[in-house]
Chain A
């Protein structure tokens, strides 16, 4: 039989709001999704061992959503960091954004790593060897070492027995953990919750979106590198945000230009042959937040788990990042000078 792609490319965005029933067998090929409206009723459900379970599962909203909303009621702002492409600097930007917010001693920040198969945040924050403490009221986040001690981190890395262990999980298991991060972690009174995501437009993204929808998300910051291979995937992410109804705060161009430390000549390592992120922002009518140059010291600071902003406050990259953070604050309707007071 010739394969067919006639079935819709999209899935139901509201589907995960329903509780997933316990299945007795893996989902079959054309499964409408055990959480969906058609669960147990679709044509492809005929003969599936899960059919009865799916059909009789309680319909209606996921009972955990109100719990998540209650838990996050004391979080003032929630920001997603997204990119269709891997390795463009999502995690690096998430840590920078968090460090920048944390520079104001009056703010408290949470940083949640939803990249389950490739968590980078703990290493970048220098808390790779920490483990989660469980208290009566939930899991406590790991507090990163920064000047004001106001930056809490949560990642799957804290739960692995060995730091190089592979997390070989399919979608539902990843979704379960993300739900726990939102429901069971004692985030407390937060001014900002920054959510770092894996590349793509799949389970993690859909789950984060549906779990947070009720409690409200300020918006998403998209990260890209200048070349078309990366922008191509970021376009897909913009499409995702539009379809899911997530507000786009803007797009950051990372690794934009490299200044040779030998001769100060600037090269475009990742050539913006199609106009780079600023052109994309214009075409798609979304705010352009700025360019961050490629500085080898950013990567080194991340490898050592220290804040680049604190280590090299006078570098052009640092100035650029502070500029981007202020633009993010502006887009969120906050006073940029209050969010990130100028030093000195």
Chain B
């Protein structure tokens, strides 16, 4: 059983592209790790893999061992250094994190993977059967947009593997569905919720991403992509609503350039003052490449949101066992 080391499998789905599935997957994984769980991330977006970029491990390559692929390690289990000023998270014990993506197997990062359905199906199956995961509390599976080949194969394989008598109970825990607030996105994501209904996948909750942008100049929040659509949809379909995630340019910068998030004094996001404990120096940022992504993420304004979200999801999952 290739997935026998894994306690819980969580899918991250969305009918719409570019709503932040990979971004949300990354943050869920980082937060789970910060809560001390061991986490794996499997990226089955074959024609547009983003996970390697998000974790800053684009140059890594997957090793082949007897029995399959060895996933790329992002960080091992360890105690993070306590943060100097205003530290609430001191000497935190974090769980290990590893990733698997087709991106690690490509010769060049700009190579297109031009595959039709059957080949994608075969690759998804290979990812589910031939990856040697370490012992994991959670495996997050990041998916491409839509409801087609990759999704059908993923579920066929998962349902077959997780319902066998020797797999842990409720191993396929369910799906987190990501949307943005505008109606165009909601209408595609409703299709994904119907897909979950049809295939019997439990929806753990809806996350509304890109809900509002706080102007770094005047701290006014603009609803760039409208607002409230995700919540309304969750109510309509009777599934939990996990929360709204605003656009945080500091998070984008953390991913793109690896700089530790710093906020100007007085910035308030979701009613919480995240204003800097260090003076904001224009352009200059305090992050160095030597620090772990997960360490720097603790300073991101989105971390408390995800911390609460993960606690809710984990409680929900454990409540069913």
**CB within 8 Å for A199 and B118 given contacts A164-B187, A164-B191, A269-B213:** no
CB distance from B131 to the nearest CB of A (A): 9
Evaluate contact between A268 and B217: CB separation under 8 angstroms.
Answer: no
- Chain A hits for B222, CB < 8 A: 258, 260-262, 296
Q: Which B-chain residue is minimally distant from A270 (CB atoms)?
A: B252
**CB within 8 Å for A236 and B47 given contacts A117-B145, A117-B148, A228-B53:** yes
Evaluate contact between A202 and B120: CB separation under 8 angstroms.
Answer: yes
Q: Which of B148-190 touch A at CB < 8 Å?
A: 148-149, 151-152, 180, 182-185, 187-188, 190
19 of the cross-chain contacts (CB-CB < 8 Å) are: A2-B66, A3-B64, A26-B118, A86-B17, A118-B191, A166-B15, A168-B152, A171-B116, A171-B118, A199-B47, A199-B145, A200-B48, A235-B110, A240-B112, A240-B114, A267-B249, A268-B249, A296-B225, A300-B226
Closest 7 CB pairs of A and B: A86-B17, A87-B18, A171-B117, A117-B146, A265-B217, A262-B220, A235-B110
Interface 9-mer from B72-80, B192-200, B260-268: B192-200
Q: Which B-chain residue is minimally distant from A92 (CB atoms)?
A: B184
Evaluate contact between B54 and A229: CB separation under 8 angstroms.
Answer: yes
Chain A interface size, as a band, is: 35 or more
B232 within 8 A of A: no
CB distance from A285 to the nearest CB of B (A): 14
Q: Mark A244-265, 1 if CB is under 8 A from B, else 0.
A: 1000000000000010111101
**CB within 8 Å for A171 and B66 given contacts A118-B188, A263-B215, A265-B215:** no
Evaluate contact between B47 and A167: CB separation under 8 angstroms.
Answer: no
**CB within 8 Å for A299 and B226 given contacts A171-B148, A239-B112, A267-B216:** yes
Evaluate contact between B247 and A269: CB separation under 8 angstroms.
Answer: yes
- Chain A hits for B54, CB < 8 A: 229
Q: Which B-chain residue is minimally distant from A266 (CB atoms)?
A: B217
CB distance from A304 to the nearest CB of B (A): 8
**CB within 8 Å for A269 and B16 given contacts A166-B194, A232-B109:** no
Q: Mark B246-280, 1 if CB is under 8 A from A, else 0.
A: 01010011011100000000000000000000000
Evaluate contact between A167 and B147: CB separation under 8 angstroms.
Answer: yes
Q: Which of A171-204 touch B at CB < 8 Å?
A: 171-172, 174, 198-203
| Contact with B145, one of A118, A171, A237 (Cβ below 8 angstroms) | A118
Instruction: Report the Cα distance A229→B51, complex, angstroms.
Output: 9
Q: Mark A72-97, 1 if CB is under 8 A from B, else 0.
A: 00000000000011111001000000
Evaluate contact between B190 and A164: CB separation under 8 angstroms.
Answer: yes
CB distance from B257 to the nearest CB of A (A): 5
A41 within 8 A of B: no
Q: A118-B15, A123-B187 are in contact. List 14 more A-B contacts (CB 8 A).
A: A2-B66, A9-B114, A86-B144, A117-B147, A120-B184, A165-B194, A198-B145, A201-B113, A228-B53, A229-B22, A232-B110, A236-B113, A258-B213, A267-B216
Evaluate contact between A124 and B16: CB separation under 8 angstroms.
Answer: no
Evaluate contact between B215 and A262: CB separation under 8 angstroms.
Answer: yes
Interface 9-mer from B122-130, B289-297, B303-311: B122-130
**CB within 8 Å for A31 and B118 given contacts A267-B217, A302-B182:** yes
Instruction: Report the Cα distance A190→B203, complex, angstroms.
Output: 45
A155 within 8 A of B: no
Interface centre among B48, B145, B183 (most CB of A within 10 A): B48
CB distance from B48 to the nearest CB of A (A): 4
**CB within 8 Å for A229 and B114 given contacts A117-B15, A302-B182:** no
Evaluate contact between A201 and B112: CB separation under 8 angstroms.
Answer: yes
Instruction: Report the Cα distance A214→B151, complex, angstroms.
Output: 33
Instruction: Report the Cα distance A202→B46, complex, angstroms.
Output: 10
- Chain B hits for A199, CB < 8 A: 17-18, 47-48, 144-145
Evaluate contact between A11 and B116: CB separation under 8 angstroms.
Answer: yes
